[in-house]
Amino acid sequence: MDHKQKTKEMIAEVDHALLRYVDHGKHDKLIRAMKHYPEAGGKRMRPIMAILTAEAVGGRGKAALPFGCSLEMVHNFTLVHDDVIDKDPVRRGRPAVHIAFDEPTAIIAGDALFALAYEVLADTDVDGEALRRLLRSVSDTVFLVAEGQQMDVDNEDRTDVSRDEYLDMVEKKTAVLFACAAEGGAIIGGGTEMQITSMKEYARLMGIGFQIWDDVLGIKGDAKRTGKPVGSDIRNGKRTLIVLDAMDKLEKDPRKHVLTDALGNEKASDEAVQAAIRLLEEIGSIDFARKFALDYARRAKDLLSCLPDCEEREMLRELVDYAVGRDL
């Protein structure tokens, strides 16, 4: 079976299990609110990563399915709360949970998804001490995601965010959950300690690359494929790695205003936004971020040498190429 087909079947399996898990409890409205994002689709990268890793270290992929679904629920819970916090009205082409329902319901549905994630985790077919390890990993991870989200909220009003702070935030908001997926998959699959550590690091590096690539797409991406209007990150004033790099490079440059005029200016004309993007291109900031992400991707792929030569290893490699390289 080719990898594309196998991935498709894995996604279908995850979708099926996930939606069954989320259909939980006695409160109809709460169930609908919990299902709102999971049923709108998604790439299911975290469960896929957990399943592939479990198989690659010699275990059964099926054994990692509840754990993978648990992380997907965590991911969706953070999206629900993020959208309330950021007042984002749309997600995956549908009204956000707090719009389709209301803010109280969105806060509660997020909490319920989070609780449910642990109920599903408890079903993992591993011995009790391995479960303790998974529990620690998931909880540490969600705590870091919360820290990352708090950094994001705090950084919104700051213009002096450093590159290190930005990368720290990206690691927490995005990379740690991928790291947890691969680490957990390796634990469930019965991998060696070396494999568990390497796979965690593989996924962490991929996660950082994934987010930086997202920054590139937010400026250069094809609107039809990314679903966001071109340059929306500029109008929203997002302090991405690209913008941080440009601010450094333009510090004493008379062209700086071309960027700052459009950045965070919701009323900036299309021409002004295009001019800002051209400037980012000219000074090499977009290319800087692109190379930065590709470097993380390369380092991630190098770590796959901890795995035996197998189909799943190849698919984990392709997963990186998809995460860092997609839609451009």
Q: Residues interacting with a second copy, by CB under 8 A?
A: 24-27, 29-30, 78, 81, 84-85, 103-105, 107-112, 114-116, 118-119, 121-122, 127-132, 135-136, 138-140, 142-143, 146-147, 149-151, 153-154
CB 146 within 8 A of CB 82: no
Q: Which is nearer to a second copy, 20 or 29 (CB)?
A: 29
Taking a C-beta distance cutoff of 8 angstroms, is the pair 216, 324 a contact? no
Shorter beta-carbon distance to a second copy: residue 99 or 275: 99
Return the number of the residue (147 or 314) whose C-beta is nearest a second copy: 147
| Cβ count within 10 A of residue 10 | 19
- The DSSP secondary structure of 280-310, one letter per residue, reads HHHTTHHHHHHHHHHHHHHHHHHGGGGS-SS
241: three-class secondary structure by DSSP: helix
Half-sphere exposure of 28 (CA within 13 A, CB side): 0
CB of 137 to a second copy, least distance (A): 9
Q: Token pair of 8, please?
A: 């498709």
Whichever of 9 and 102 has its CB closer to a second copy, that residue is 102
Q: CB-wise, 56 or 84, nearer to a second copy? A: 84
| Closest CB to a second copy among residues 149, 198 | 149
**Tokens linked to 283:** 């000074």
- In the complex, minimum distance from the CB of residue 251 to a second copy, in angstroms, rounded to a whole number: 29
- Least Å distance, CB 74 to a second copy, is 9
Min dist. Cβ of residue 65 to a second copy (A): 18
Q: What is the DSSP annotation of 7-32?
A: HHHHHHHHHHHHHHHHS-SS-HHHHH
Q: Please tell me the distance from the alpha carbon of residue 209 to that of residue 324, in angstroms, as a whole number.
A: 6
Instruction: Single out the residue of 209, 214, 213 nearest to residue 303, CA to CA.
Output: 209
Instruction: Write the Ramachandran bin of 92: left for phi over 0, alpha for psi from -120 to 50, otherwise beta.
Output: left
Q: Which is nearer to a second copy, 55 or 152 (CB)?
A: 152
Q: How far is the CB of 193 from a second copy (least distance, A)?
A: 18
Residues 179-192: b if buried by 16+ CB within 10 A, e if exposed = bbbbbbbbbbbbbe
What's the closest the beta carbon of residue 82 comes to a second copy, in angstroms? Answer: 9
For 257-280, the DSSP string reads: HHHHHHTT-TT--HHHHHHHHHHH
Cβ 207 to a second copy, closest distance in Å? 18
> How far, in Å, are 111, 148, 185, 294 from residue 152 at the CA level?
20, 6, 29, 24
- The phi and psi torsions of 116 (rounded to 5 degrees) equal -65, -35
C-beta closer to a second copy: residue 11 or 108: 108
Q: How far is the CB of 52 from a second copy (least distance, A)?
A: 25
